[in-house]
Chains A and B, each alone.
Chain A
């Protein structure tokens, strides 16, 4: 063909050895990537496809029969699920705090005040605890006869005693506080590393030009840290959706009523407590869609051209 011929004429001649090298490089790339793709397909894509299929069935964990969209119709017609969704979105309100507090701590650590190395280790320490242990500790704090109320009684403020976990209106609050606390360690660590990558002379130049701490943070550090902050926000958001099971299990059992039941906890209850794995899979698909929808703007922000 004429056009092809013209292109071929314009293309610089590539030596045969170079073409062979390119081909071998491509083969090597596939050979190196294939195991990862296999594992990714086997452990990520396949389970999602399977879950999608089972969400369209009545499945007791052993045998499945086709249900079409029946599970989804039941789910979206359920007032319990509406409460569960509301709980999930309420917990999202804790994400900004779970990013902002570690950012503040990371800034202080980055200034290297006396004892900052110890502080860094201590702040990360809670991240090494299991969620169950953390949950037990927070339960002991917030229970009706827990530490918080004991302290209030001891200082003569007994009238202010609260059974936060025992009230449907407030039970989510201790869970959110425990979640924020659990995120402080790992998020601070990531942010400290991010701050360490900022050239010190950039900060020094700003200071020499008369910028105060507030201006430096706002005008220099925040823009330079934007990608790290978005990354931290994404992983915190995903944790808020998918990592709270143990905390909820230990602290409230999802109650009172459904006041602290989130989608992941609801999946457990539907699938394993009630044996309705089909419904559990349907909630799983909704959870996947919710995380994808909420993470998407952040991911786009993370990948936008010019992001630092």
Chain B
């Protein structure tokens, strides 16, 4: 065989080796990609996601985690703060890509049902005797029926509520916060005359984007219906375009239209800091920011149910609106159960209370004095309403979150905004129109 012939024989063999190496490298790259898709949680490690930002809930959950790790040195908890603005989008994406945490903060009501396919049934995992002590279990159960599957362990009792600055109200000659539409408009006139912005709207410190969240207000606006009637908002018996709702929303939009708010309601940011600094007499928010406001304003801070009714308001929006879920995909369910069991225990509930929350377990009170007045409303003829965004369809809430601020700011008519919400409801699959 000539030398050339040898080379001809040899070259393909060498090239095959080079090609194989290339293919091997590609496979290795693919394997690395696949490996990175493996759930990050390891045995003995728990990953918990929350969307609390810097709210008091974040501190409370952090305190519970610290105490749990102390009592369970073999379990390491990775507490991950996710952005509040798109928390549920991230959670969904993580579940789809098999990177979901073991435990995630979840809202109760229809939110829990919307994501039920991702969550484990806690009734199969936690002792029934302990669960029986928790408030709001119905809002976290399949079909809101506590005898069925439980998807969320309620963490705390929450309020959508108005906050007012007592000193500013006094300066305008007002003895207390308004209780109905007429008093609100009268208060507005007096406050404006005293050079005070009556109500401040905008996003709070947790939000990246600037628009305010309208469902705090809408929950009170819908107290023109009874709690039982609210199911009609979800199943279509009460259309969003009904004259009663339109009338309520028009009165609400008039708050801005008549100059009772800051002019830039759609673009104002960080309203909590501004309120703390005396920029306005009243704001609308949730009790999870109470401690932050109380730390700054102290006894000048007051809380009040939003006066969005013709008669003095007699409804209060209060429910265990959030809690913790165990993801079905969790590889550490035993550790997750240990954590939730600790959370439900007396020690866990005391930590929540001392951190500034109203624990969801019966018999455990909040420590902040302002809560006493709020909780007392329940016994003074006030009707407890759930949070509206927890009990109407998420798609309708999403559309409402876009169009209601625009209607409030006078950028869109109330009728058009409600038509869009109704159109969203109309487009829901039939199994969601319940």
Do these two chains really belong together in a complex? yes
Q: Which residues of A contact B (CB under 8 A)?
A: 17, 20, 24, 27-28, 31-32, 35, 38, 58, 60-63, 74, 78-80, 132, 136, 139, 142-146, 163, 165-168, 249-259, 261, 268-269, 271-276
Q: Which of A24, A38, A250, A255 lies in contact with B406, CB distance below 8 A?
A: A255
B117 touches A60 (CB 8 A): yes
For chain B, residues 257 to 316, give those with C-beta under 8 angstroms from any C-beta of chain A. Answer: 262-269
Q: A20-B8, A269-B398, A272-B89 are in contact. Are A163 and B411 (CB under 8 A)?
A: no
Closest CB of chain A to B24's CB: distance in Å? 11
User: In the complex, are the beta carbons of A275 and B92 less than 8 A apart?
Assistant: yes
Pairwise interchain contact B406-A256, C-beta atoms closer than 8 A: yes
Separation of A32 and B402 alpha carbons in the complex (Å): 50
Which of B26, B402, B403, B427 makes the CB contact (< 8 A) with A74?
B427
B residues near A261, Cβ cutoff 8 Å: 402
Q: Are A167 and B269 in contact (CB under 8 A)?
A: no
A166 CA / B406 CA spacing, docked (Å): 8
Check: B96 CB closer than 8 A to any chain A CB: yes
Contact with A along B3-27 (1 / 0, CB 8 A): 0100010011001001100110010
B208 located at the interface, meaning its Cβ lies under 8 Å from any Cβ of chain A in the complex? yes
Asked if B209 and A256 sit within 8 Å, CB to CB, the answer is no
Other-chain residue from B23, B88, B268, B406 in contact with A272 (beta carbon distance below 8 A): B88
**Chain A neighbourhood of B263, CB < 8 A:** 144, 163
| A252 and B96 contacting across the interface, CB-CB below 8 Å | no
Instruction: Give the docked Cα–Cα distance between A61 and B92 (Å).
Output: 8
> A249 CA to B23 CA in the complex, in Å?
42
User: What 7 A-B pairs come out closest when comparing CB atoms?
Assistant: A144-B264, A272-B89, A256-B406, A253-B209, A166-B266, A257-B406, A143-B267
B92 touches A253 (CB 8 A): no
The interface residues of chain B lying within 8 Å CB-to-CB of A163 are 263-264, 266-267
Chain B residues whose C-beta falls within 8 Å of the C-beta of A271 in the assembled complex: 89
B429 is an interface residue with CB less than 8 A from chain A: yes
A residues less than 8 Å from B95 (CB atoms): 61-62
Q: A249-B209, A251-B210, A255-B211 are in contact. Are A273 and B267 (CB under 8 A)?
A: no
22 contacts between A and B (CB under 8 A): A31-B22, A32-B22, A35-B22, A62-B117, A62-B118, A142-B267, A143-B267, A144-B268, A163-B266, A168-B406, A168-B412, A249-B209, A250-B208, A250-B209, A254-B402, A255-B211, A255-B266, A256-B406, A256-B412, A257-B402, A257-B411, A272-B92
Contact indicator B208/A166 (Cβ below 8 Å): no
B residues within 8 A CB of A274? Answer: 394-395, 398
For residue A145, give the distance in angstroms from its CB to the closest CB of chain B: 6
Measured between beta carbons, the chain A residues less than 8 angstroms from B22 are: 31-32, 35
Contact A166–B395 (Cβ < 8 Å): no
Knowing A20-B8, A250-B209, A256-B411, the reply to whether A145 touches B264 (Cβ < 8 A) is: yes
**Min CB gap A46→B, angstroms:** 13
Tell me the nearest residue of chain B to A257, going by C-beta.
Answer: B406
Which of A24, A257, A272 has a CB less than 8 Å from the CB of B12? A24
> What residues of A have a CB within 8 angstroms of the CB of B209 in the complex?
249-253
Q: Which of A143, A166, A254, A268 contacts B409 (CB 8 A)?
A: A166
With A28-B15, A165-B266 in contact, is A257–B210 under 8 Å at CB?
no
CB neighbours (8 Å) of B405 from chain A are 255-256
Nearest-neighbour CB distance to chain B for A283, whole angstroms, equals 14
Could you tell me if B264 and A143 are in contact, using CB atoms closer than 8 angstroms? yes
- How far is it, in angstroms, between the C-alpha of A153 and the C-alpha of B4 when the chains are bound? 87
A17 neighbours in B (Cβ, 8 Å): 4, 8
In the complex the two chains form, what is the Cα distance from A235 to B171 in whole Å? 58
Given contacts A24-B12, A61-B96, A257-B412, 12 further A-B contacts (CB under 8 A): A35-B22, A62-B117, A143-B267, A144-B268, A163-B266, A165-B210, A168-B412, A252-B210, A256-B409, A272-B86, A273-B88, A274-B398
Shortest distance in angstroms between A137's beta carbon and chain B's nearest beta carbon?
Answer: 13
Tell me the minimal C-beta distance from A257 to chain B in angstroms. 4
Interfacial chain A residues near B227, Cβ < 8 Å: none
**Complex contact A38–B266 (CB within 8 A):** no
Question: How many Å lie between the Cα of A79 and that of B417 in the bound state?
Answer: 12
B56 → A minimal CB distance (Å): 25
Select A35's contact among B26, B96, B412, beta carbons within 8 Å: B26
The answer on a CB contact under 8 Å between A143 and B117 is no
For B85, list chain A residues within 8 Å (CB). 249
Size bracket of the B interface:
35 or more
**Nearest B-chain residue to A279, judged by Cβ:** B427
Report the Cα distance A255→B92, complex, angstroms: 24
CB atoms of A253 and B210 under 8 A apart: yes
User: B217-246 vs A: 1/0 string, CB under 8 Å?
Assistant: 000000000000000000000000000000
Report B-chain residues with C-beta under 8 Å of the C-beta of A268: 86, 89
Most chain B Cβ neighbours within 10 Å, of A60, A139, A254, A257: A257
Contact status B394-A139, CB under 8 Å? no
Question: Which chain A residue has the least Cβ–Cβ distance from B427?
Answer: A74
Q: Mark B391-409, 1 if CB is under 8 A from A, else 0.
A: 0001100100011011001
* B179 in contact (CB, < 8 A): no
Say which residue of B118, B208, B394, B411 sits within 8 Å of A167 (CB atoms).
B411
Q: How far is the CA of A28 from the CA of B12 in the complex (A)?
A: 10
Bound: A40/B18 CA distance, A: 22
How close is B311's CB to chain A, nearest CB, in angstroms? 32
For A249, give its contact among B208, B262, B267, B420 (CB under 8 Å). Answer: B208
* In the complex, chain B residues 110-147 whose Cβ is within 8 Å of any chain A Cβ: 114, 117-118
Q: List, in ascending order, chain A residues with CB within 8 A of B8's CB.
A: 17, 20
Q: Residue-by-residue, is B68-107 near A (CB-CB < 8 Å gives 1, otherwise 0)?
A: 0000000000000000011011001101100000000000
Question: How far in angstroms is the closest Cβ of chain A from B178?
Answer: 25
A261 to B96, CA, bound (A): 25
Q: Which residues in A have their C-beta under 8 angstroms from that of B402?
A: 253-255, 257-258, 261
In the docked arrangement, what's the CA distance between A9 and B184, Å? 101
Q: Report chain A residues within 8 Å CB of B208.
A: 132, 136, 249-250
Contact with A along B415-427 (1 / 0, CB 8 A): 0010010010001
Q: Within the assembled complex, what's the spacing in Å between the Cα atoms of A261 and B267?
A: 16
Docked CA distance A269–B412 (Å): 20
In the assembled complex, the Cα of A139 lies from the Cα of B209 at a distance in Å of 9
- B42-68 CB mask vs A (1 if < 8 Å, else 0) is 000000000000000000000000000
Q: How far is the CA of A155 from the CA of B211 in the complex (A)?
A: 29
What's the Cα separation between A190 and B15 when bound, in Å? 39
